[in-house]
Each structure stands twice: as structure tokens, then as C-alpha cells.
Structure 1
């Protein structure tokens, strides 16, 4: 399997790759630490879901505004601002935890603040790839590498966090996360970017938001992808909220066990990321996108039924593999078929479908786990993923016909198996 990384020919992208990779390791440390502290303070599956809800609900309510900002203002400057604000949030978590003053109310408030930052940060970061990479043929590789950065961080961050929590406490995870933002901020400041022309538009902001919605939902491929990602987030991504329960009550472990599970998921995602990096074209990616939820569903069912860590690890690896193939595949297809002047707004809808649905999934997962137990909750999630994947597979022939003219116009190979 030959892996080529043409995106790294760009100096700007190399700076982003290095800095963002370091920062995301800190982000995953904070994700694990937050869930661990919530469960230690409350011993409640519902509260785990509520904290997840607070962190992500801004992405559902305000994502279209974030997309409008991404299309209207300088994305490079916006990213510097969001990274500085995220650093402040992580350092505040660190200070409160290390001084022993952290509580659920503060976790909810700071989580909500991070959610507000993500409203702008996520669509801007997705669209910024096209600003950094000047060679169009390298952009798909850059999108795949972005997914690999996240999965690599998911592999490393939880493993480090599990060790730190058990030895010196979760507060130091937040502290390291805060310092990790320095790397990405420095990388952004060192970039040399060509001025990006700002599209002048006489429409009012609300009209431009409406234009983005109309464009997305009148396009069957875009609408179908966003709906699949929404369902995926509701069923699969939100199920990660329940990982502390499986680590402690089902597998009878501790923070190190939780870190091990998240690391295993990261290994699966890393394998998927390596596969995505071997692809030189978007052709055929629709099948990958369609079958990935089926992989996730099977993995979730096995994980839910597993009585031992040694079966849970390969099962959660399968979930990680399917997750990266589905999310990265959907992102790549969207970025390929979307019109340039609407890229930020469509990426904001991607944010709404992925991160925005997450809080409802967290609440649903937490509520169901309280009522029927965490294992049964994951079995239901797995079955929904398997069924939705097969339904999307049946829709592929129709989508191929619609996407083919777009690929032809963009001079992608004439044979277009979506």
C-alpha cells in the first residue's frame, strides 16, 4: 500500500499539520478528562449526556452563522482568534480543577463556551484547507490528512490522559491542552498566504444563510450526505458519551481502561485515515461512505455484548475505522461538489449535522442508558447504523447520475462511480 502525501509540499499546510496535530492531542486529553471528572462527581449517565449537550448545542443552533462568517471574513485571522479563545478556556478548566473548585455548573458553563468557539472554528478550519493548498489536485489529500491528524491525536491523547489522570490528576491534562494551543497559533502566524478575494454580496446575512440552506437541501447528494452524518452522529458519535460507564461498570477498570478504549478506537481510525491517504481521487468514495456505518454498527453491537477488554478492544477499533471512513468520506465528497462561494456555509451545515446533532445524541444515549442500560443502548445504536447504511447503498445509483455532471465539469475522470 503506497502512501503519498502531496499536500505536505505546501509550506503553509506543513505548519498547519504540525501545529494542529499537537493541539488536537491536547483536545483529546481534555475530552477524556472532562468525561472522567463528570462521572466521578456525579456517577450519572444522564449527567454525562447533559455535559455533552452543553458542549455541542451551540453548533446546532448557531452553525449557519458560523458558516456565514467563514464565507465573509478572513479565515486565517478567524482561526487565530478561535485558537486563542480555546486556549483561555482550557487554562480556565486547568486552574479550576487544580484548585479543587471545579463543579458541574462550571463544567457546563465552560463546555458551552467551547461550543460557541466551535461554531466559528469548525467551518472555518474545514474551508481553510482550500486557502492553504494552491494546487487543486493536492486538496483531497489535505482533507484526508486533516482526518488523519484527528485520528492520530485520538490515538495519542487518551493514552497520555489515562496515565496522567491516574498518577497526578485530570487538571494537568487541561493544563497541557491549554499550552498545546501555542503550537497551532505559532504555525498560523508563520504562514504566508495569498490574499483571498472576498465575494461582495448585496444580500443581507439572513438571506445568505437561507441561500446556503436552499442550495444544500435542493441538492440530493448534499442533502443525503448531511442526513446520513446526522443519523451517524446521533447513534455512533454520541455513544462515546457512555465510555466511562463501560470502562468502570462493565469492564471493571479505571481511567487507564477508559484511555485504552479510546486509544483502540483511535487505532481503528488511524487505519481508516491511512486508507484515505492512499486514495488519489474521489471516485468510488460513495461506496466507502455508505458501507462505513455498517462496520460501525457491527462494532457497536459486539462491543455492547463484550464481557472482556480483549474483545472490547477490536470491537471499538472497528467502530473507529468505520467512523473515520464515514466522516472523512462525507467531508471529501462535499468539499468536491460544493460551489466555492458557498463552501463555508455548507461546511457549517456539516458542523450542524456532525457536532450539532451530537448533544441530542448525548442526551438520548444518557437517558436510554439510565432506563435500559448502556449495553442495550449501544445495541440499538448499532442496529440503526447497519440499517441506514444498507438504505444508503440502495440510493447510490441515483446519486451517481446526479453527481456525474459535476465531476465532469470539474475535470474529474469521466467514469463516475460515486
Structure 2
């Protein structure tokens, strides 16, 4: 039965708190993206603003992963949420005082990125520590469904909020929604897990985590695919404000539609994954998602009509969710608990910071070649990398290892 994991009170409370927070996050992301376009009308600035929010994940999230493996995870998560509330309040106050030009917005987004870098690894880790082990894949899939439902609802509410109470009011709403997750963390039961027992400093233990990934070929292949999907696939989705405003001239309402379509694609993929219990079926879904991701990005580059672009975006979101959530489930199922925080933090770095890095690079390139040409190039590169890894892998059914065994 799909979503049977919701019968577990702990997981249901945790998911409920996250749902409230995610709605606010998508509302704010819509407001930030639209504000950056209004202030500059530049796809480069749109990409930089996205990058500022997630670049800290590249540099410091793995360090926080080491702390997660050492510390009490509930206390760590609560501390991170309090910091996020503080930083988001600062964004609201800066706007309310009239100081939020594009450079101030960039600075605020860097702080938001630092808070996100600290919290993202623990958010992913706690799924394993809260959900029943027999329903782990289902829990991760349901997280994806709810996340993408909020991606559908959040931008729509954000559009309404921007037009009624303004960008500043939207920032305030997002700040208040963090209380949902905070309350959930105060009451849920978290299973005790193994902690890192090895000595050495933070950098030493981080290197231990990297060696653990490198020594496991399956994990290394999943990480390579994750980078390709994130940078070359979902990186294009981060440029939707520029597509809506600069290619289709559809304004903030068009942006809300495109983001809602992307959310719908993620929902469909999450629902499909939710009924998956067999390992072979999960691997098949990962293969399909990786193999078709580049094709839909390529379609977006050739889309001259808004409807065709929306269909392409639906496909990009669906395939990226099918691949990334499936890979996360496969990764979480086999991880050594003592390395979980470090590996999951590195995974979060690729899946969350990857799109921001891709948006920055692709946005800068689009200033010279145009967004459609960049999407075509990104789609081709994504398809080549993903299909190459799948073909040579022993983890995937089409790989050389599978042919040798069969």
C-alpha cells in the first residue's frame, strides 16, 4: 500500500512540520527570483542570486556532515532552525527598511545559503532516523511527493502574496513557517544511531567520508550521475524566471505556472516511486530518469511555444525526481551509519548546490548565446554523461557488468 509509512506517528509529525516550512520556502524563492529579475532584468543576476543561496553547500555542508556524525542530531537540527529563523528575519527587516537592492539581496542570500548548508544534511539524515526502516524508500518517495506538492502550491501562493502583501510580506510568511518544523522536532522520537568513533579533526573525518564513497563503486557512480542531473538538468529549472520573463514574456504569472508544472512533474515521479519495494524496480526507475533527463532539457531548448516549454519542464522535473530520489533511496539503504552524516551532506551538496552552480554557469553563457541554445547544449551534455555511466556501470541493468553476469 502506497504511503503506509504515514501510519507512523513520528514520521507523520516530521513530514507535517517540513510541509509547512517548504510552502514558505517556495513562496520566498519565487519572491527572491522575481525580485532579482525586476531589479536587473538579467539572467546572469538571476543565476547569481540562486548560486548565492546554495553555493555554501559546496564549501561548508560537508563540514557540517562531520558534526552530524559526532553530535546529538535533535539538538543540532533545532540549533540550525533557530539560525535560519534569524537569517530570514534579517532578510525581511532589510527589505522593510528599504535597503534591499540587488547587492544587499545577494548578501542576504549568502547568509540564507549558510543556514541552508547547515540544515540540509540533517534534514536528509533524519528521514532514516525517524521513518520505519522497512518503509525507508516509501518515506523518501513521500518526502519527494510532498516537496513537489509544496513546489506546486508554494509558487502559486507566492504569486498571490507578492501581488497582495508584497515581497516583504512573503519574506515574513516564510520566516514564520519555520516554526512548523521546529515544533515537530521537539516532539518526535529519533532512533539512536552509531556515531563516528574515530579521532582526528573535522578535515580528517571528512576525508574518511570521501574515501568511503570512493571505495564503493556503486556510491561513486551514483554521485557522478547526481552531479550530471543536478548541474545540467535541474540547473536549467533554476533559470525559469529568465525563461518566463526573457523568452516567453509571460511575467510573474507565467513563472508561477512553469514552477507549478515542475512541481507536478515531481509529484508524478514521487507517486510512481512510492509503490517501489523491489531493488530491481528501483534501479530501473533510476535508469529511466537518468537516460531521459537530457532529452527533455533538449526539448526545452527547441520549444518556441509556452505550452511545449511547459511539457518539457514537466518532463525535466519528473525525470530528475525519478533519478535523484531513487538514487537517494538506494544510497540511504546501504550506508554505514557511522558515515551517514558525511555521505548525506556530500549528497545534499550535489543535489542542492549542483542546480545553483549549473544556473550560474548556464545563465552567464546565456548572456552570449541565448537561453534556448544553452538548454540544447545542456541537454546534450547531460545525455552523454548519464548514458555513458549507465552503460559502463555494474549497478544498472544496461551496464557491462549486468551483461557479463547475465
- State how far apart, in whole Å, the 1-side matches of 2:181 and 2:349 are: 24
Q: Greater CA deviation, 234-243 or 215-224? A: 234-243
- State how far apart, in whole Å, the 1-side matches of 2:53 and 2:279 are: 33
Deviation of the 1:244 alpha carbon: 1.4
Matched, 1:129 2:130: no
1:192–1:218 Cα change, 3 Å: closer
Aligned twin of 1:165:
162
Spell out, residue by residue over 1:256-314, the C-alpha distance to the aligned partner (whole angstroms, 9 max, x if none): 11011000010011000101111123333223222213333222222222222222222
Aligned twin of 1:10:
8
Q: Greater CA deviation, 91-100 or 338-347? A: 91-100
- State how far apart, in whole Å, the 2-side matches of 1:273 and 1:213 are: 29
Q: Greater CA deviation, 312-321 or 168-177? A: 168-177
Spell out, residue by residue over 1:154-198, the C-alpha distance to the aligned partner (whole angstroms, 9 max, x if none): 111011112222343222221111111111111111223455554
- The SS at the match of 2:169 is helix
1:67–1:319 Cα change, 3 Å: same
Aligned twin of 2:368:
371
Q: How does 1:171-182 map to 2 (within 5 A)?
A: 171-182=168-179
TM-score, normalization by structure 1: 0.90
1:294–1:401 Cα change, 3 Å: closer
- The SS at the match of 2:358 is helix
Matched, 1:100 2:134: no
Matched, 1:55 2:53: yes
Matched, 1:271 2:268: yes
Aligned twin of 2:353:
356
Could you tell me which runs of 5 or more consecutive residues in structure 1 were left unpaired when the two chains were aligned.
Answer: 405-416
Deviation of the 1:399 alpha carbon: 5.7
1:32–1:211 Cα change, 3 Å: same
Aligned twin of 2:110:
112
Aligned twin of 1:28:
26
Deviation of the 1:376 alpha carbon: 0.6
Matched, 1:312 2:302: no
Deviation of the 1:362 alpha carbon: 2.3
Matched, 1:328 2:325: yes
Could you tell me which runs of 5 or more consecutive residues in structure 2 were left unpaired when the two chains were aligned.
Answer: none
Computed over aligned residues only, the root mean square deviation of the Cα atoms, in angstroms, reads: 2.2
Matched, 1:216 2:213: yes
- State how far apart, in whole Å, the 1-side matches of 2:88 and 2:137 are: 31
- State how far apart, in whole Å, the 1-side matches of 2:201 and 2:371 are: 47
Aligned twin of 1:338:
335
Query: How many pairs are equivalent?
Result: 401
Deviation of the 1:324 alpha carbon: 0.7
- State how far apart, in whole Å, the 2-side matches of 1:205 and 1:194 are: 24
- The SS at the match of 2:60 is helix
- Asked if 2 retains the 8 angstrom alpha-carbon contact of 1:87 and 1:177, the reply is no
Deviation of the 1:92 alpha carbon: 2.3
Deviation of the 1:8 alpha carbon: 1.7
Aligned twin of 1:388:
385
Aligned twin of 1:90:
88
- State how far apart, in whole Å, the 2-side matches of 1:299 and 1:167 are: 35
Matched, 1:260 2:257: yes
Spell out, residue by residue over 1:37-69, the C-alpha distance to the aligned partner (whole angstroms, 9 max, x if none): 111111111111222222222111113211101
Spell out, residue by residue over 1:113-160, the C-alpha distance to the aligned partner (whole angstroms, 9 max, x if none): 122122221111111122213x32122211111222211111110111
